[in-house]
């Protein structure tokens, strides 16, 4: 009895501080519904992890199951065997992807920030037209500009180079939009005070604008990593040498023509999980930055 009293005294302060106690019935129902929707949104993630662990007899069961019954790492063993039999080592594909994704994150973030800052704060003649043109490019599907991209890359002589991977990724209208909307929130008086103190534009940009806009910078970096990590367009169009192609292209070759086949379906399931994990980790680490950016980008 004494232990029960001690236990109750420990949880009693927690019950007083709980926000649920201050909610009315409608708010509590709304919280329950949001929790249920959150669980529903997690189903694709659960399916990816369970699908990669399914043995062959569960991969083709009908109706399909979300949860695996007999987990097995045989799919990853098969993926390793397929990768080891490749003419180009899989580590080369992975190295190319890491270099491309890292370079894209740095370059796209710098280019987007350098584009957004003058449009937001310097108000040069025609800045609204420039920003509207950047937003207009969001309407074009990637397939619509594949031929112009190929002609540009061919004329520049950057085929089979890392720059051929990076150049098509540099223009990111979403990154410019997010950074521009975030920089709009900075008070002009702060920048004017820095100019009066003798700070140059480059110092204002690096020491004031960028540190304050780190949530937006982190969001642009996440979006760029997701885009570049799963990109196969540059490897398909601009790279004829297999040693210059990236890891997603190698994994896509495992699933080509397998829609109605049994062979390599387990390796394909494991490959999908391998491709998904880096994006999940990056998003979980920086999800707070993403939420802060989306909140500020819509506030005037």
pLDDT tens by residue, 32-51: 888 888 888 888 888 888 88
Tally the residues of the chain. Answer: 300
Cβ pair 160, 237 in contact under 8 A: no
Using 50, 70 and 90 to split pLDDT, how confident is the model at 299?
very low
Cα 276 off chain centre by:
10
- pLDDT score of 246 more than 70: yes
pLDDT of residue 108: 93
Cβ pair 71, 53 in contact under 8 A: yes
Using 50, 70 and 90 to split pLDDT, how confident is the model at 107?
very high
pLDDT of residue 104: 92
All residues at 6 or more sequence positions from 221 whose CB lies less than 8 Å from its CB, including other chains: 105, 108, 109, 286
Using 50, 70 and 90 to split pLDDT, how confident is the model at 100?
very high
Specify the higher pLDDT residue, 56 or 178: 178
Burial class (CB in 10 A: 0-12, 13-18, 19+), 232: middle
pLDDT of residue 248: 86
Q: Kindly report the pTM of this predicted structure.
A: 0.76
Nearest in space to 232 (alpha carbons), one of 177, 178, 283, 271: 271
Burial class (CB in 10 A: 0-12, 13-18, 19+), 78: buried
Q: How much is the mean pLDDT over the chain?
A: 80
Q: Considering the chain, what percentage of its residues have pLDDT values greater than 90?
A: 6
pLDDT of residue 300: 45
Sketch out the chain's domains with CATH numbers.
20-72 (no CATH), 88-297 (1.10.3720.10)
Cβ pair 121, 186 in contact under 8 A: yes
Using 50, 70 and 90 to split pLDDT, how confident is the model at 92?
confident
**Phi, psi (5° rounding) for residue 222?**
-65, -50
Matching residue, tokens 């993926």: 79
pLDDT of residue 112: 92
pLDDT of residue 40: 86
Cβ pair 112, 175 in contact under 8 A: yes
Using 50, 70 and 90 to split pLDDT, how confident is the model at 14?
very low
Quick one: CA dihedral 50, 53, 56, 58, positive or negative? negative
**Phi, psi (5° rounding) for residue 215?**
-60, -40
Model confidence pLDDT, tens digit, residues 177-233: 888 988 888 888 888 888 888 888 888 888 888 888 888 888 888 889 988 888 888
């Amino acid at each position: 009895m004494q232990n029960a009293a001690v236990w109750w005294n420990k949880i009693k302060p927690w019950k007083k501080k709980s926000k649920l106690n201050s909610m009315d019935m409608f708010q509590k129902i709304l919280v329950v519904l949001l929790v249920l929707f959150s669980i529903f949104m997690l189903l694709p993630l659960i399916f990816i992890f369970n699908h990669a662990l399914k043995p062959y007899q569960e991969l083709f069961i009908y109706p399909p199951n979300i949860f695996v019954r007999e987990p097995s790492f045989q799919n990853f063993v098969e993926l390793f065997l397929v990768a080891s039999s490749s003419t180009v080592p899989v580590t080369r594909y992975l190295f190319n992807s890491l270099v491309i994704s890292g370079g894209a994150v740095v370059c796209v973030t710098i280019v987007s920030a350098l584009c957004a800052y003058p449009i937001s704060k310097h108000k040069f003649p025609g800045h609204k037209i420039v920003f509207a043109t950047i937003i207009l490019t969001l309407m074009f599907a990637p397939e619509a500009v594949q031929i112009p991209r190929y002609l540009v890359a061919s004329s520049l002589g950057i085929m089979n180079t890392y720059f051929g991977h990076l150049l098509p990724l540099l223009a990111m209208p979403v990154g410019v939009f997010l950074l521009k909307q975030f920089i709009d929130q900075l008070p002009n008086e702060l920048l004017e005070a820095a100019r009066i103190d003798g700070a140059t534009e480059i110092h204002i940009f690096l020491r004031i604008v960028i540190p304050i806009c780190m949530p937006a910078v982190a969001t642009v970096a996440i979006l760029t990593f997701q885009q570049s990590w799963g990109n196969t367009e540059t490897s398909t169009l601009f790279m004829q040498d297999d040693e210059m192609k990236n890891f997603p292209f190698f994994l896509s070759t495992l699933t080509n023509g397998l829609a109605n086949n049994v062979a390599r379906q387990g390796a394909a399931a494991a490959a999908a999980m391998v491709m998904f994990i880096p994006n999940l980790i990056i998003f979980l680490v920086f999800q707070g930055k993403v939420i802060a950016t989306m909140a500020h980008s819509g506030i005037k």
